[in-house]
Structure 1
């Protein structure tokens, strides 16, 4: 009975961490770093309003970074409440708990230690906490990068495509 409760709790733990990160993001206040004003908002604006070919390098070298990552943030700043936007950005960044927990499952058998490692990885990194709720792309892209590692680990665990995965790792 207790094992089932722990297993169910184990599934919802990353979701709870993600929601907590969203609330912490709101407490950190607005994202007002220089990159937001310099290019995160402008690059998305330029892409959506067909200004990419006309305005040459208004943000210097940062004008030539891929604007696709900034489009969702730009549209959200135009249409959402700043507190809601901060919560959404933080909650999306907090989704990194899922792949971290899945990866730790392969190396650590004790579930309590897995939970602690997941929390430590989410809140123990100064870069993660420093960029929490911001428009920086590191925390959000890490969700996808670590998720792809999870797929590789899953494939290695199944051992069906062993020869394909050995070249990926």
Structure 2
């Protein structure tokens, strides 16, 4: 609530974001995605009616995923008639824009004005994967909310030293998101790596790690205990080459359809997305933002080398570390586009930030004579 008290306009942003999500969900129409029909609806139903000890995997191996994240869509969809359930979920999903606004204010600091904030919100609002999940039962767009909120807390200190209170809250949030959907572990690890750049890194990493463990245990612990009791593996039937449950084959269940064919193919993914190639998704989309972020970062590196000075602040480097470590881990583990949604939305404030840093670097560039003198001294 402190962010709301400090910035009353945040109330308008929250209301506007929820309204935008609700309207978009209504315009998109009723959600009938395959995963909803296969196991999302069943997960909520089984959790409410205690069917997990009666039914035999009606949704295939997805029947054994943590059902907690699907309880809310189930209750809303079956508690409200159409189109109100879609509007309600859309309003909740729309709050991602409000969190992007918060993250942008935190990252830009004094440079955050109506134009930079509007630019970040517009770029975020055009996120193809996020738009595809507004008003649906998918968990990706729900767990993006606590992940982005955790980023805002981790970068909220202007002196680049996150407060212990913020670190603990961020850890619980991103840990909870990981417990609800294990594919978010990429961002949990990336957040921990980014903390290695703060003043007291090990203290920060330890606090964040303990808090994130609490978040994981709260949201995933009961289900993991049930899987371990019933099948001999807390992550049954996944990673069974490690846990070796006798109830499942000794194989790892991995979807490799979207993985890059090699290093060059992996490096090309962000540029594939610009021209509409979609090796990371079953459905076509275009998204230039990752390629734009790469080009801006490259321009900043060249600028820093040319001007022989640091053009990025420590907090900028922490954010870039989180973003690209999370991206690499995502690619190595899944390469499934919708699992990248937190970075898809975070790309908006990142692009605005990098562009501002590039403009500042050239506006404040030392004169050519000064650079020549530095070169002589060196």
Range class of TM-score, shorter chain: 0.7 to 0.9
Report the Cα offset of residue 153 of structure 1.
1.6
C-alpha deviation, 1:101, in angstroms = 1.2
Give yes or no for the alignment of 1:16 onto 2:16: yes
- Aligned partner of 1:60 in structure 2 is 60
Aligned residue in 2 for 1:120: 123
Superposed CA deviations along residues 55-107 of structure 1, whole A, max 9, x for unmatched, are 12111111011111111211222220221111111111111122211221233
Aligned 8 A contact 2:23 2:90 in 1: yes
Unpaired segments of 5 or more residues in structure 1? 1-6
Mark the CA change 1:61 to 1:78 in structure 2 (over 3 Å): closer, same or farther: same
Change in 2 beyond 3 A, CA 1:46/1:9: closer
Q: Give the 3 Å change call, closer, same or farther, for CA 137–103 of structure 1 in structure 2.
A: same
TM-score (norm 1): 0.84
Other-structure match for 2:85: 85
Structure 1 residues 91, 139: closer, same or farther in 2, change over 3 A?
same
Whole-angstrom distance in 2 between the partners of 1:73 and 1:8: 30
Give the SS at the match of 1:32.
coil
Long gaps (5+) in structure 2: 1-6, 165-198, 209-317, 319-378
Q: How does 1:13-162 map to 2 (within 5 A)?
A: 13-108=13-108, 109-111=111-113, 112-121=115-124, 123-154=125-156, 156-157=157-158, 159=161, 160-161=163-164
8 Å CA contact 1:21–1:94 kept in 2: the answer is yes
Partner in structure 2 of residue 4 of structure 1? none
Give me the whole-angstrom Cα distance separating, in 2, the residues matched to 1:104 and 1:114. Answer: 7
- Contact preservation (8 Å) 2:76, 2:88: no
Q: Scaled by the length of structure 2, what TM-score is found?
A: 0.40
Tell me if the contact between 2:38 and 2:59 (Cα under 8 Å) persists in the aligned partners: yes
Matched, 1:165 2:186: no
Which structure has the larger Rg over C-alpha atoms?
A: 2
Structure 1 stretches of 4+ moved >4 Å: 7-11, 166-169
Conserved 8 A contact 2:47-2:67: yes
Change (3 A) 1:124 1:43: same
Distance 1:75 1:13, change over 3 A: closer
